[in-house]
């Protein structure tokens, strides 16, 4: 991997994202893919995904089960499924490995392969080049973007979900474990859109509410013409500013688009919102990126 130059860092500050091709080796990508295969092979379908939809009340319980499963996933390795892959009894309608949408949100803490990648010397060096003094890892996710059914991700800013005061303290690392193309759902960005703050926040709902989280504010209507696609080869890294607007389209191709992504917060002089869905726990305080 070539060292990151100062002009690239400047480009990141200007655009709100930076593409670094061949940041990770093919071997590193393959080690993550084979590790996730092992994890999926041992996966149990969570109980809330198995209950049959019948009465309204059971449906609400199911939704509550899903929300609890999501809300308490910050310090665990948990499974989230594509729509329509399970029947009403919770049995797979497609091969198990093709059913998972993502796995989160603490692979970086509990899995040796993903931990090693997250804290790899080149990631730490990049953090230092970006001037991060006390970066902590807040979450990680393995995203499958399954062929034919990998859903679109509508335009959003990561800080909507991971709010800090002040803003500008969240940074995403997005690693392509397979080539990401326009056909299989690569990321699209609006360059320079990280300078206008955020218009929407996802917050924990009051206890007893029917949903576990709610949105405050609304996502503006973005002009499709403003987005530019960022296809990237296997092993490439995209740095994502917490407030840059980005999206990905439905994967209508025959090939998956696996990615491993994690978010870092500059903890120095920063407050993590108590209203964020994700909260550090006694079992897992946010680990420091630098080892």
Nearby residues of 241 by Cβ (< 8 Å), 6 or more positions away: 12, 16, 17, 168, 170, 171, 172, 194
Q: Please indicate whether residue 68 or residue 17 has the higher confidence score (pLDDT).
A: 17
Mean residue pLDDT of the chain comes to 93
- pTM, two decimal places: 0.95
Q: Please indicate whether residue 23 or residue 49 has the higher confidence score (pLDDT).
A: 23
Query: Distance between CA 116 and CA 248 in Å, rounded?
Result: 27
Query: Distance between CA 108 and CA 93 in Å, rounded?
Result: 30
Identify the pLDDT of residue 238. Answer: 98
Q: How confident is the model at residue 52 (pLDDT cuts 50, 70, 90)?
A: low
Would you say 257 and 154 are in contact if contact means Cβ atoms under 8 Å apart? no
Q: Does domain 6-272 have CATH number 3.30.460.80?
A: no
Span 96-121, average pLDDT: 96
Would you say 70 and 214 are in contact if contact means Cβ atoms under 8 Å apart? no
Segment 77-88, tens digit of pLDDT: 999 998 888 888
Greatest C-alpha distance within the chain:
60
Identify the pLDDT of residue 149. Answer: 83
Cα distance between the two ends of the chain = 20
Among residues of the chain, what percentage have pLDDT more than 70?
A: 98
CB atoms within 10 A of CB 216: 12
Segment 234-264, tens digit of pLDDT: 999 999 999 999 999 999 899 999 999 999 9
């Amino acid at each position: 991997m070539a060292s990151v130059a100062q002009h690239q860092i400047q480009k990141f500050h200007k655009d709100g994202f930076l593409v670094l091709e061949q940041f990770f080796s093919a071997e590193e990508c393959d080690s993550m893919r084979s590790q996730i295969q092992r994890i999926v092979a041992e996966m149990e379908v969570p109980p809330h995904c198995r209950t049959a939809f019948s009465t309204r009340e059971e449906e609400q319980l199911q939704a509550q089960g899903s929300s609890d499963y999501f809300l308490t996933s910050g310090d665990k390795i948990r499974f989230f499924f594509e729509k329509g892959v399970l029947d009403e009894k919770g049995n797979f309608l497609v091969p198990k490995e093709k059913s998972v949408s993502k796995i989160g949100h603490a692979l970086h803490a509990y899995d040796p392969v993903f931990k090693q990648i997250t804290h790899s010397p080149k990631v730490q060096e990049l953090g230092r080049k970006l001037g991060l003094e006390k970066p902590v890892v807040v979450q990680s996710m393995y995203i499958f973007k399954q062929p034919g059914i990998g859903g679109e991700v509508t335009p959003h800013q990561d800080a909507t979900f991971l709010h800090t005061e002040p803003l500008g303290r969240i940074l995403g690392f997005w690693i392509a474990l397979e080539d990401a193309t326009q056909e299989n759902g690569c990321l699209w960005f609006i360059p320079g859109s990280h300078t206008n703050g955020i218009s929407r926040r996802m917050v924990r709902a009051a206890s007893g509410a029917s949903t576990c989280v709610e949105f405050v504010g609304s996502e503006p209507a973005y002009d499709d013409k403003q987005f530019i696609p960022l296809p990237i080869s296997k092993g490439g890294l995209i740095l994502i500013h917490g407030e840059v607007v980005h999206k990905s389209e439905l994967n209508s191709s025959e090939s998956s688009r696996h990615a491993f992504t994690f978010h870092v917060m500059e903890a120095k002089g920063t407050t993590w919102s108590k209203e964020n869905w994700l909260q550090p726990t006694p079992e897992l305080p946010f680990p420091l990126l630098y080892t």
